Amino acid sequence: MKRPAEEDSQQRVSKSLRGEKEDWERLPGMIEKVVLKQFMCHQEFVYSPTRRVNFVAGQNGSGKSAVLTGILFGLGGKAKDLGKSSLKDLIREGSNGFRSINRSGGNSYKFKDAKGHIVPVKKPSKELSRILTAFSIQITNPSIETRRKDIKGMKAELAWSIVKELENQDKEITLSIDNLNKKVQKYDNLYMEKNEVYEKLKSKKDKVGEDLKSVRATEEALQEEKYAAKQALQVADTHVKSSSRKMDELKRRLNQIREHRHEMSASKSKMETLSKRIKSLQGLKDNKFAVYGSDMVNLCAALEDNYRLFKHKPIGPLGAFIRFKSGVTKSQKILVDSELRKLCQAFIFDNYEDKTVFEKFARNYNYKGSKYTLTFRKDIYDFDDANIANCLIDHRKIEKILILPTESLAQKMFSQSSPKNCSYGLVYSEERHCACSYYSHPYRSYMSAQLSQQLLIQSNVGEHLVGLEKELNAAQLEYNAIQEAHDSLKSGNIKLNYEERSLSKKKINEQQRIITEKSAKLNVINSEEQTEEPPMDVVVMEEDLEGFEEMKGRLSDELESESEQFASVKESLERKMLNIQSDINQIDKERNRITQKKTEFSEMISTKQEDKDKVSLEIDKHLQKAKKWSEERIDTIRSKDEIYNKIQAAEQSLKERQERVHESPETITKEYGRLGNLFRSVYDKMHHS
C-alpha cells in the first residue's frame, strides 16, 4: 500500500507530464523572478525559475553562484552570510550605483500581494523574518568550505593575537626593566650622598675624640689640686659645724621664745573674751537666750517687739526649746549637745514670707544661723513645740540615731549589721572627751575632736557663768606656765663663743688662692665650650659667724662651680661623641639599606631580563607559526581566549554539518531506489493510459 505523500507526488508528476495546469501555481513561497543589476559579475541579469527543480549551468566564472547570492541577499542575507567582508563587495567592479537592501529595516523592502499590489507594513525587516520562518527558508547556511575558510582565518587571527600578546608582555617587561634601572640609579646617587655625609661625620668624630682625650689627660692632673682644695675646705667646715651647732641652739631657744609669746598672746586674748562674756552674762542672768550671746538676746527682743509683722511668730533659737528628760546622763547630754550645737541657734518659720522678714532683722544683729541639721534619739529629749520636733526629724532624722553606752556594744552591733531603721550609732569616750560614730555596710568608725563640756541645750545663765569662770581660771593657769618658761629662756646664757667659730683671715685667703689657680687652668681647657665663666667675688671677711659662713659657702660654691665647669666640658664632648656616633650608625644603616635595595632591584632586573629573553624566544616561535597561517599581520582587538572559543564553536558546528552531509551510502541508495521506482511507475501510467 502506497503512502499518501507518494500518491500526492505521483499525481503532481502525472499532471505535469500531461501538460495539465497544476493546483500549486502561484503558491506562497515560490520565487518567480530574480533581477540582478550591477551585482557582482552581472551588469544586468534576469532569471525566472521554473515551477520545479531548477539547475543553473555554466562555465567557471559565468556567475552561477551570483544568482544564489542575489537570492540570499534579496531575502535579507548579511555580508558575513554571503562570504563577504562588506556589502560593498557585492557591487560590480567599476560601478558605484546600487540600491541599499539590508535586513535591519528602513524602507528598502516592499511587499506585494498575489495581484501585484503593494502591501503596507510597519516593520518590513520583522515581517521578512516572519515570512522566512514560516517557509523554513534558511539564509545563514554557509557552505562547509566557507566555514573551513572562516576557521582558518580565525586560527590565523589566533596565531597573530598570541604574537601580539607576547609583544605586549615584552613591552611591559622592558618598561619594568627601565623603571628598575631608574630606581637603581636613584639609589646609587643616594648612596653617594650618604657616603659623603658618613665621611664628614667620621672626620668630625676623630677631631672630637682628640679633644676628649686631651680633656681626660688634664683631668688626671687636676685631681690632686682639687683634692687639696677639698681638704682645706673640710678643715674650715669643721669650724663652721662647731659654730653652727651653737647657732642652732640659739635659734631653737629664740623660736621657743616666739612660740611662748604667741601662746601668751592667744591665752591673753582668750581670757579677755571670757571676761567679756562673763560680764555680759552677769547682766542677763534672767534671760534664757543669754547663753547664745548678746546679739541673740537683742534679736529675740526685736522679734518680740515686731511679732505682728509675721504671719506666724518664728520659733527659735531651737536650742532654747529643747529639754533633756530626767535620767539622762552627762555623757548623753554632751553627745546630744555636740550633734545639735550648730542647729541650736536656728529658727523655723511657717512660710517663706516670714523667713524673708526675719532675714531683714537678722542682718542688723549679725545673725549667722546654721543651715545644717543632725539627728538624735527621741526618747532622751523633750520639746516645747511640736514644730521643733518635726524640724529635727525632717532635717536630721533624729529617730535614726542610736546612742550606746559602751564602745564594745557599738562594735558588736554595727560590725555585723546595723539595727533596723538606724543610720549610725554614737558613743561618748570619757577618757578622750570625744564622740565615736559607728556605721555598717561597710563597717567603719570615726572619732570626733574633743567635745565642749559647756552645754547650750537646757542650760541656764548661772550654769553657763560657772563654766566660763572655770575656763577663765584654766586659761590663767596656762598663761602663767607659759610666762615662767619664757622668763627661764630669757635668763639663760645664749652667747656664742666667737673664738671657736672664727677662722683666721689668712687661712681663708689661702683656700681662695688655691681655687683661683685651679679655675684659671680649667678655663684654658673649656675656652671653646664655656661662653662665660662665673665671676669670682672677693668676700669681705668678717669676724662674726655670719660672715664666716658666707665666706665658707662662697669658697665651697666656687670649688663646686669649677668642678661643674670641668665636668660640663667633659660631658659636652662625650655627648658630642655619642651624638656623632649615633649619626654614623644611622647613616651606616641607611647605606646598608640602600645597598640591600640596590641588590634587590638588580636581582629583579636579572629576573625580568630572563623573562624578556624567554618571551623573545616565544615571539620568534609564534611569529613563524603566525606567518604560516597568514603572511600579512592581522591586528585584532579580541583576546586569544575569545578567538579560541570561537574556533571551538565553529569546528563543532562544522563537524555537525559534515555529519549531516555525509550520510551513509545505504541511506542514499535506498532513497535513490525509491525515487526511481516512483518515476518509472508514473511514466508507465502515462504511456499506457
**Is pLDDT larger for residue 559 or for residue 414?**
414
Of 28, 29, 25, 30, the closest CA to residue 12 belongs to 25
- pLDDT in the model for residue 500: 39
**Measured between alpha carbons, how far is residue 432 from residues 210, 394, 401, 478 in Å?**
76, 32, 22, 20
**Least confident piece of the model among 200-204, 257-261, 541-545:** 541-545
Task: Please say if the pLDDT value at position 347 is more than 70.
Answer: yes
pLDDT in tens, 555-612: 667 666 766 776 777 778 778 888 888 888 888 888 888 888 888 888 888 888 888 8
* Least confidently predicted of 407-421, 436-450, 554-568, 657-671: 657-671
Q: Rounded mean pLDDT of 364-384?
A: 52
Lowest-pLDDT choice from 111-125, 482-496, 510-524, 603-617: 510-524
Give residue 356's pLDDT: 83
How would you label 38-73 residue by residue, b for 16+ Cβ within 10 Å and e otherwise?
A: bbbebeebeeeeeeeeeeeeeeeeebeebbebbbbb
Q: Map residue 178 onto helix, strand or coil.
A: helix
Sheet of 424-429, strands arranged across: 401-403, 424-429, 434-439, 444-447
Nearest of 487, 539, 585 to residue 201 by alpha carbon: 585
Please name the residues in contact with 251: beta carbons below 8 A apart, sequence gap of 6 or more: none
Q: Is 45 helix (H, G, I), strand (E, B) or coil?
A: strand
Q: Tell me what pLDDT residue 16 has.
A: 46
Answer yes or no: are the C-beta atoms of 336 and 381 closer than 8 Å.
Answer: yes
- Please name the residue that has the C-alpha cell 534558511: 138
Nine cell digits for residue 542: 668678717
Per-residue pLDDT tens over the stretch 35-74: 888 888 888 888 888 766 677 777 877 888 888 888 878 7
- pLDDT-based confidence at residue 498 (cuts at 50, 70, 90): very low
Rounded-to-integer distance, Cα 660 and Cα 584, Å: 86
CA distance 82 to 73: 8
In contact, 275 and 507? CB cutoff 8 Å: no
Question: Could you tell me if 361 and 302 are in contact, meaning their C-beta atoms sit under 8 angstroms apart?
Answer: yes
Q: How confident is the model at residue 19 (pLDDT cuts 50, 70, 90)?
A: very low
Instruction: Of 396, 220, 260, 231, give the one whose Cα is nearest residue 318.
Output: 396
- C-alpha dihedral sign at 571, 577, 583, 589: negative
**What integer pLDDT is reported at residue 186 of this predicted model?**
85
Instruction: Assess whether pLDDT exceeds 70 at residue 461.
Output: no
Q: How far apart are CA 406 and CA 412, in angstroms?
A: 10
In contact, 475 and 267? CB cutoff 8 Å: yes
The reported pLDDT for the residue numbered 202 is: 82
User: CB-based contacts of 166: which residues, under 8 Å, 6+ apart?
Assistant: 615, 618, 619, 622
pTM for the predicted model, two decimal places: 0.33
CA distance 553 to 539: 10
